[in-house]
């Protein structure tokens, strides 16, 4: 058998991995004009195929090892499919034909199609599989085809050409010989391997590219391309620079591509893939075959080199790389075993292919031939720049053209186009000034620069500048009798609020408050707080909010820092801060008598100006010392004016004030409605953390506008009462990234309510950008566009503007900037810095937030600049993992962090809360979540652990507090022995295939040295030994025996329906109900009552062991010998779902007996039973005989009616004939599809249950029991086994009809019996 060349093996494997896929098709299109001789064409094709064995080679395999089989040359020539097509449909036909799959195992790898659109106009499409050809081969093939066609059409018969000296098969063998044994360090393979091992050590596993969308878990990307066309002038300049620097044009392009990627955020260690012709002997030159090899060119861009320096580095990389080009790339991958993933190319994700071509003219005699370009059907890397350098025969540059292919699932066409443009621009800039550092060249065109700096920041508005008190006073004068404020203690009109705050302002002035001073306010949320804040600003001072809940020391520190005139506090605060350096007074003490002229004009001292501070709000500092942000009236006035223009409030709007005054969102809550005539609704002091209370207030007080921090919004939306808040008009979000999932939930729960995402730091007057969330949007929720008189700048680390799509740090400038940090001038000078793009002398604030522009000019928040999450060298966007977790039905909230609880062991940990509510932790199954995540996410994004929490911890301001997340429980993963049959089998197969003595269930196939070829063989062995057909990809996605075993069991649907626990309802806020199967052993009957039980709790049903095996035709496990043994097994099962009591148990018939035993065992073990319901099941009276006819009774249980005599007399299931088995199939749905063997095995399980039943004597139950007795039940048999209260409820239904015709009554009764800690849903539905 002729083996495959190494390169062929890789393609063969990819074909197996992804299935037939046009990724590796090579379509060649020839437009033929003139008198085409079709017979001659077909014969000529036959001549070419006869000449090149490769064109008639197929690739069958033996046990997963492929080999080359050369078919005989077809005597008639190959099939030439001729199709008449309209010219407009030609392209579609070509696409379809070129994409049709090849079956490599037995179909020739060359297809020929002739499309005829006019009498003398035809298009020949040759489609080759890359496994037998490469770019060079196509030139050989066309040249030979032309020769043969001329000969055939001229009547000369077959062409007279010399035999080829060697064929591809010879090359295959020769290649193996040349390379030698790669394990021999003296062999060519061994030496070259050593070189590559050193060269590629520590290379990045994945290059961070400026992608538009997250990568999907699976490669096989749809590809697309943008044209690249560089004219002869640019070509000449590149050539000139290349010659000057003793380089090639290829190297110049390579350097520019590396520089571009580096500039676009890919880092300074850039591996590129490239291809070499691989025809290292001239005997190979005339062969059609797959010779090209892939090389990795790894360039170091650290230290911001000049282009000249970079060129030298590139040259220093390329020369030795080419000297070691014989080692096939797939061998390299196999040996070096880089971190692998099915979703990306190993070693590099960007390719550069470059060839120099003097195009040949194809001579088809009387027929003229053109070769139009063909669309590329699929990308082979994330980005693949394929260029052809056109030169005249004398070497004169004629231009460079080609295509930038991109993986269309991660890049948008605009982005690829921008990349291509920027590459050209960078090349031009570098050629002009090769001595400048690569970071000095702008990637932006003047237009783009103008766009990001000016057009998208064109926010200038001429506004009358005022102050907070002036705006309020003006409104109070306009609508004195309108309601200004509503709180738990009543309401105030504008006039009342104006007067009360005036009186307090007078008192403050007397204490010395005035413009430029500070007054601290430490009051709980109340009307008095609003009055006080207004009074402070009316007095001209800036207010400093103090959170009464803060520790004394922190309050004193702030007071020491800010030196306020006084503190306005309640009595409690007065006591706490008594004796400190600042006077503390209650508003009542200070309020002066109403006297004429206490208004604005009465103050003495300087007038309040817009430049004066309006408030000082402390934010946490990275060093741990909080810093006070000083914000002027001018800044906040702009913010409030913009808000009223962007989202106008009307007089009947009611804004909820719920944000603590120490957080700046509260500033607009307080002052916005009061300057436009709307009403401020003051929530209770602690309400902001209680979603149910908030919902109540929103409904009761007719609130129309409310703000949420996104994590609080999530909590709010899971609150059932949230849906009643339909009176809301708009919800604002800010404070942290708003997840798309929250937006989707929002629109579901509150359709018709507007949702606006705001972004801004305290340092720029609350918010500086805004985005209105519209249903139907996808992807990350933008933070939007800048507000009035505000500029947003996305700058790189040289403070140059970032182009669209590139992550940079966000800087803000404009009128909303704060003055700085109170008494922290040095800190201020590092954060409020000179703005190189604003008016002379202006400042900008650097936020520390990473953002990027979208092509539409909106900003997308990416995270903090200072805590980017990287795990094992790969970028991890926790939001992506969180989104995946949130997509799971059982998950309500999610948060993902990288933890390092053991030094050096960084792990991605997911925290989730149950969708069903805090009490339903049992409804979330971490292992199942992980298995599901592995289905949708690349491996590095799947958390190591998922921890279920009742709720995610929030910091005092309601933001998610990541630091308060508990460490995950220590898991027992490493070295765990295989637990299941499948795990045992997999562990053995791994060990055999990998040649290692022992494998643990958590060992990674690839880390143990497994590679793609071995993965194919593993899949084969699994199929042979476990009878499960898996795609090869599943090995990549689930590389450990444990994960693979989970996957295997998932692919066995039977496992679910016939497994030991049947999940009837997976979630619900209440405690789960566990039902025990009746004598049949299966619990499907309980589906009938599910709808009557309501949605309040999860429902699980136990099933007898052995059904999965029975249905699969496997031997049955040993049956339980006693009810006690069965009960113990079932308790172990339910404890996996609900680790501790109180338990809710119920069972029908035999299941009632088992449930009783489970309950008594629980009591004996000290656990609690909340409810035990026995549905018409009874212990056998003392002295009862062992079942005399167990098969008859088992049949009765299954059929629901007594079996006829013929069947009833049988003693052994083996005696049952097909008629009876069919009857079982008809009457017992679970076995409808079972084969005879399965039905007989199921009946044996039923018979065993009967034996257990007759032998069972219950223990004494200390607690209560409810018995549902059907017609002719015998409740008295239970009396001596129940010490607690025995409640008997009768149903006028036959025993066998309880879960068929009587299911509705049974279900309703059971729902009523079950105690409800979370009762209503079930009961409500029962009544309707």
Partner 1 sequence: MSNPFDDDEARFHVLVNDEGQYSLWPAALAEPAGWSAVLRDERRAECLAHVEAVWQDMRPRSLVAATGQQDGPGAAE
Binding site for partner 1 (CB under 8 A): 265, 515-518, 542, 562-563, 606, 609, 611-613, 616, 630, 796-799, 807-809, 819-820, 822-823, 825-826, 828-836, 839-843, 846, 848, 850, 865, 868
Closer residue to partner 1, CB minimum distance, 515 or 1068: 515
For residue 266, the minimal CB distance to partner 1 (Å) is 12
Judged on CB neighbours under 10 Å (0-12, 13-18, 19+), 139 is: middle
Q: Where are the alpha helices (DSSP H) in 1027-1115?
A: 1033-1037, 1041-1051, 1053-1058, 1087-1090, 1107-1112
Going by DSSP bridges, is the β-strand pair 843-853/832-834 parallel, antiparallel, or unpaired?
Answer: antiparallel
Going by DSSP bridges, is the β-strand pair 874-875/891-902 parallel, antiparallel, or unpaired?
Answer: unpaired
For residue 254, the minimal CB distance to partner 1 (Å) is 25
Judged on CB neighbours under 10 Å (0-12, 13-18, 19+), 1129 is: middle
For residue 1091, the minimal CB distance to partner 1 (Å) is 56
Question: Could you give the CA distance from residue 807 to residue 794 in angstroms, rounded to a whole number?
Answer: 8
Question: Could you give the CA distance from residue 1289 to residue 1312 in angstroms, rounded to a whole number?
Answer: 11
Question: Could you give the CA distance from residue 1054 to residue 1060 in angstroms, rounded to a whole number?
Answer: 11
For residue 1145, the minimal CB distance to partner 1 (Å) is 58
Instruction: Note whether 653 and 609 are within 8 A (CB).
Output: no
* 149-177 as b/e: b if 16+ CB within 10 A: bbbbbeeeeebeeeebebbbbbbbeebee
Per-residue DSSP letters for 1117-1173? PPPPSSHHHHHHHHHHHHHHHS-SS-EEEEEETHHHHHHHHHHHHHHHTT--EEEEE
**Residue 580 CA to chain centroid, in angstroms?**
53
Closer residue to partner 1, CB minimum distance, 273 or 610: 610
For residue 632, the minimal CB distance to partner 1 (Å) is 8
Q: Widest CA span of the chain, in angstroms? A: 122
Beta bridge partners of 946: 910
Instruction: Note whether 1174 and 1267 are within 8 A (CB).
Output: yes
Beta bridge partners of 759: 769
For residue 622, the minimal CB distance to partner 1 (Å) is 10
- Which helix (H) or strand (E) element contains residue 113? strand 110-118
Helix (H, G, I), strand (E, B) or coil at 33: strand
For residue 125, the minimal CB distance to partner 1 (Å) is 48
Beta bridge partners of 912: 894, 948
For residue 464, the minimal CB distance to partner 1 (Å) is 17
Closer residue to partner 1, CB minimum distance, 304 or 1055: 304
Closer residue to partner 1, CB minimum distance, 513 or 948: 513
Closer residue to partner 1, CB minimum distance, 611 or 1142: 611
For residue 800, the minimal CB distance to partner 1 (Å) is 9
Going by DSSP bridges, is the β-strand pair 483-487/69-70 parallel, antiparallel, or unpaired?
Answer: unpaired
Q: How many CA atoms lie within 13 A of 1006 on its CB side?
A: 22
Beta bridge partners of 771: 757
Question: Could you give the CA distance from residue 245 to residue 243 in angstroms, rounded to a whole number?
Answer: 5
Closer residue to partner 1, CB minimum distance, 798 or 1285: 798
For residue 606, the minimal CB distance to partner 1 (Å) is 5
Q: What is the CA radius of gyration of the chain?
A: 39
For residue 512, the minimal CB distance to partner 1 (Å) is 10
Closer residue to partner 1, CB minimum distance, 391 or 518: 518
Give Cβ neighbours of residue 741 (< 8 Å, ≥ 6 apart): 882, 883, 886, 887
Closer residue to partner 1, CB minimum distance, 34 or 437: 437
Helix (H, G, I), strand (E, B) or coil at 620: coil
Closer residue to partner 1, CB minimum distance, 852 or 1011: 852
Closer residue to partner 1, CB minimum distance, 275 or 876: 876
Closer residue to partner 1, CB minimum distance, 861 or 1299: 861
Closer residue to partner 1, CB minimum distance, 323 or 834: 834
- Which helix (H) or strand (E) element contains residue 352? strand 350-357
Question: Could you give the CA distance from residue 500 to residue 593 in angstroms, rounded to a whole number?
Answer: 10
Closer residue to partner 1, CB minimum distance, 456 or 811: 811
Closer residue to partner 1, CB minimum distance, 542 or 725: 542
Closer residue to partner 1, CB minimum distance, 518 or 787: 518
For residue 823, the minimal CB distance to partner 1 (Å) is 4
For residue 960, the minimal CB distance to partner 1 (Å) is 24
For residue 871, the minimal CB distance to partner 1 (Å) is 18
For residue 192, the minimal CB distance to partner 1 (Å) is 37
The torsion angle over the Cα atoms of residues 786, 787, 789 and 790, rounded to 10 degrees, is -40
Question: Could you give the CA distance from residue 1145 to residue 1173 in angstroms, rounded to a whole number?
Answer: 6
Beta bridge partners of 544: 520
Give the count of beta carbons closer than 10 Å to the beta carbon of residue 560. Answer: 12
Give Cβ neighbours of residue 729 (< 8 Å, ≥ 6 apart): 653, 704, 705, 753, 754
For residue 807, the minimal CB distance to partner 1 (Å) is 7
Closer residue to partner 1, CB minimum distance, 345 or 846: 846
For residue 562, the minimal CB distance to partner 1 (Å) is 6
Question: Could you give the CA distance from residue 1215 to residue 1240 in angstroms, rounded to a whole number?
Answer: 9
For residue 826, the minimal CB distance to partner 1 (Å) is 4
Closer residue to partner 1, CB minimum distance, 395 or 836: 836
Shortest CA distance to 975 belongs to which of 995, 992, 998, 1005?
A: 998
Closer residue to partner 1, CB minimum distance, 334 or 809: 809
Beta bridge partners of 542: 518
């Amino acid at each position: 058998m002729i083996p495959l060349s190494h390169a062929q093996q890789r393609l063969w494997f990819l074909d197996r991995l992804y299935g037939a896929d046009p990724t590796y098709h090579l379509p060649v299109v020839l437009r033929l004009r003139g008198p085409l001789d079709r017979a001659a064409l077909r014969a000529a094709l036959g001549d070419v195929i006869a000449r090149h064995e490769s064109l008639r080679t197929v690739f069958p395999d033996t046990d997963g090892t492929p080999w080359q089989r050369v078919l005989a040359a077809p005597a008639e020539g190959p099939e030439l499919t001729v199709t008449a097509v309209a010219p407009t449909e030609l392209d579609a036909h070509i696409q379809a034909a070129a994409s049709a799959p090849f079956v490599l195992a037995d179909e020739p790898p060359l297809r020929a199609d002739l499309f005829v659109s006019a009498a003398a106009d035809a298009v020949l499409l040759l489609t080759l599989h890359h496994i037998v050809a490469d770019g060079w081969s196509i030139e050989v093939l066309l040249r030979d085809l032309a020769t043969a066609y001329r000969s055939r059409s001229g009547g000369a018969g077959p062409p007279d050409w010399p035999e080829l000296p060697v064929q591809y098969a010879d090359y295959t063998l020769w290649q193996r010989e040349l390379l030698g044994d790669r394990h021999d360090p003296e062999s060519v393979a061994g030496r070259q391997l050593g070189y590559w091992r050193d060269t590629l050590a520590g290379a990045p596993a994945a290059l961070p590219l400026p992608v538009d969308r997250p990568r999907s878990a699976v490669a096989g990307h749809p590809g697309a391309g943008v044209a690249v066309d560089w004219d002869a002038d640019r070509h000449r300049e590149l050539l000139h620079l290349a010659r000057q620097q003793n380089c090639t044009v290829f190297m110049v392009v390579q350097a520019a591509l590396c520089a571009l990627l580096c500039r676009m955020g890919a880092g300074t260690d850039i591996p590129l893939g490239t291809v070499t012709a691989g025809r290292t002997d001239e005997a190979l030159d005339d062969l059609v075959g797959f010779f090209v090899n892939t090389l990795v060119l790894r360039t170091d861009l650290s230290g911001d080199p000049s282009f000249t320096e970079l060129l030298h580095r590139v040259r220093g990389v390329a020369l030795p790389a080419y000297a070691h080009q014989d080692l096939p790339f797939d061998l390299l991958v196999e040996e070096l075993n880089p971190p692998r993933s099915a979703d990306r190319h190993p070693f590099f994700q960007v390719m550069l292919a470059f060839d120099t071509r003097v195009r040949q003219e194809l001579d088809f005699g009387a027929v003229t031939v053109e070769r139009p370009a063909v669309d590329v059907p699929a990308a082979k890397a994330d980005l693949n720049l394929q260029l052809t350098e056109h030169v005249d025969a004398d070497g004169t540059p004629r231009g460079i053209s080609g295509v930038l292919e991109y993986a269309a699932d991660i890049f948008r066409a605009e982005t690829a186009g921008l990349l291509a443009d920027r590459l050209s621009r960078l090349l031009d800039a570098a050629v002009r000034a090769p001595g400048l550092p690569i970071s000095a060249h702008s990637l932006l065109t003047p237009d783009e620069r103008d766009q990001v700096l000016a057009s998208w920041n064109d926010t200038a508005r001429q506004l009358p500048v005022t102050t907070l008190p002036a705006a309020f006073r003006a409104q109070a004068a306009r609508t004195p009798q309108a309601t200004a404020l509503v709180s738990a203690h009543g309401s105030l009109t504008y006039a009342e609020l104006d007067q009360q705050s005036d009186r307090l302002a007078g008192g403050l002035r007397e204490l010395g408050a005035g413009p430029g001073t500070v007054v601290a306010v430490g009051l709980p949320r109340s009307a008095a707080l609003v009055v006080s804040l207004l009074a402070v600003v009316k007095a001209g001072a800036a207010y400093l909010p103090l959170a009464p809940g803060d520790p004394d020391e922190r309050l004193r520190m702030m007071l020491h820092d800010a030196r306020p005139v006084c503190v306005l506090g309640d009595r409690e605060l007065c006591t706490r801060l008594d004796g400190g350096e600042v006077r503390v007074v209650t508003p009542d003490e200070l309020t002066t008598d109403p006297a004429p002229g206490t208004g604005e004009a009465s103050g003495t001292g300087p007038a309040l100006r817009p430049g004066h501070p309006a408030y000082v709000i402390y934010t946490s500092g990275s060093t741990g010392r909080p810093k006070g942000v000083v914000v002027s009236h001018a800044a906040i006035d702009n913010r409030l004016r913009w808000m009223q223009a962007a989202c106008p409030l009307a007089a009947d709007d009611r804004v909820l004030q719920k944000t603590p005054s120490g957080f700046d969102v509260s500033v607009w809550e307080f002052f916005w409605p009061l300057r436009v005539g709307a009403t401020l609704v003051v929530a209770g002091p602690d309400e902001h953390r209680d979603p149910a209370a908030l919902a109540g207030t929103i409904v009761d007080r007719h609130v129309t506008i409310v703000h949420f921090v996104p994590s609080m919004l999530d909590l709010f939306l899971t609150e059932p009462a949230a849906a009643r808040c339909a009176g809301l008009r708009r919800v604002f979000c800010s404070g942290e990234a708003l997840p798309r999932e929250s937006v989707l939930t929002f629109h579901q729960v509150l359709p018709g309510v507007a949702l606006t995402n705001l972004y801004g730091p305290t340092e720029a007057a609350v918010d500086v950008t805004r985005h209105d969330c519209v249903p139907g949007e996808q992807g990350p929720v933008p933070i939007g566009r800048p507000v009035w008189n505000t500029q947003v700048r996305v700058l790189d680390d040289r403070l140059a503007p970032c182009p669209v799509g590139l992550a940079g740090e966000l800087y803000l400038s404009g009128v909303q900037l704060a003055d700085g940090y109170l008494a922290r001038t040095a800190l201020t000078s590092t954060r409020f810095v000179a703005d190189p793009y604003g008016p002379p002398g202006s400042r900008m604030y650097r936020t520390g937030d990473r953002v990027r522009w979208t092509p539409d000019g909106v900003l997308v928040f990416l995270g903090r600049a200072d805590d980017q999450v990287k795990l094992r060298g790969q970028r991890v966007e926790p939001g992506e993992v969180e989104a995946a977790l949130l997509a799971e039905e059982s998950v309500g909230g999610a948060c993902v962090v990288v933890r390092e609880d053991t030094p050096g062991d960084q792990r991605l940990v997911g925290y989730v809360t149950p969708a069903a509510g805090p009490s339903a932790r049992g409804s979330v199954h971490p292992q199942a979540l992980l298995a599901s995540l592995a289905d949708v996410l690349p491996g590095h994004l799947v958390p190591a652990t998922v921890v279920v929490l009742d709720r995610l911890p929030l910091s005092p301001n309601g933001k998610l507090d990541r630091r308060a997340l508990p460490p995950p429980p220590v898991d027992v993963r490493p070295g765990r022995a295989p637990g299941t049959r499948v795990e045992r089998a997999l562990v053995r197969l791994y060990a055999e295939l990998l040649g290692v003595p022992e494998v643990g269930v958590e060992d990674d196939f690839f880390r143990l040295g497994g590679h793609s070829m071995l993965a194919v063989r593993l899949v084969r062995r699994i199929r042979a030994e476990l009878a499960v057909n898996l795609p090869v990809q599943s090995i990549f996605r689930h590389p450990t025996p444990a994960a693979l075993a989970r996957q295997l069991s998932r692919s066995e649907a039977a496992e679910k329906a016939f497994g030991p626990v049947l999940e009837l309802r997976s979630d619900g806020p209440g405690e789960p109900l566990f039902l025990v199967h009746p004598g049949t052993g299966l619990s499907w009957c309980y589906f009938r009552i599910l709808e009557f039980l309501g949605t309040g709790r999860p429902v699980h049903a136990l099933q007898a062991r052995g059904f999965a095996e029975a249905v699969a035709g496997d031997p049955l496990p040993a049956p339980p010998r006693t009810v006690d043994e069965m009960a113990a097994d079932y308790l172990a099962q339910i404890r996996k779902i609900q680790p501790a009591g109180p338990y809710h148990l119920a069972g029908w018939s035999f299941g009632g007996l088992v449930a009783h035993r489970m309950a008594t065992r629980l009591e004996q073990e000290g656990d609690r039973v909340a409810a035990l319901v026995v549905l018409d099941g009874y212990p056998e009276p003392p002295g009862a005989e062992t079942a005399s006819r167990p098969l008859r009774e088992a049949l009765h249980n299954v059929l629901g009616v007594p079996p006829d005599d013929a069947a009833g007399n049988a003693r052994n299931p083996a005696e049952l004939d097909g008629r009876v088995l069919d009857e079982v199939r008809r009457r017992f749905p679970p076995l409808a599809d079972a084969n005879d063997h399965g039905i007989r095995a199921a009946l044996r399980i039923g018979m065993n249950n009967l034996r257990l039943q007759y032998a069972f004597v219950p223990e004494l139950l200390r607690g209560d029991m409810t018995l549902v007795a059907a017609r002719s039940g015998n409740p008295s048999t239970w009396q001596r086994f129940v010490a607690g209260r025995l409640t008997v409820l009768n149903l006028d239904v036959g025993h066998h009809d309880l879960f068929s015709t009587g299911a509705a009554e049974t279900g309703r009764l059971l729902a009523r019996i079950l105690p409800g800690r979370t009762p209503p849903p079930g009961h409500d539905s029962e009544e309707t």
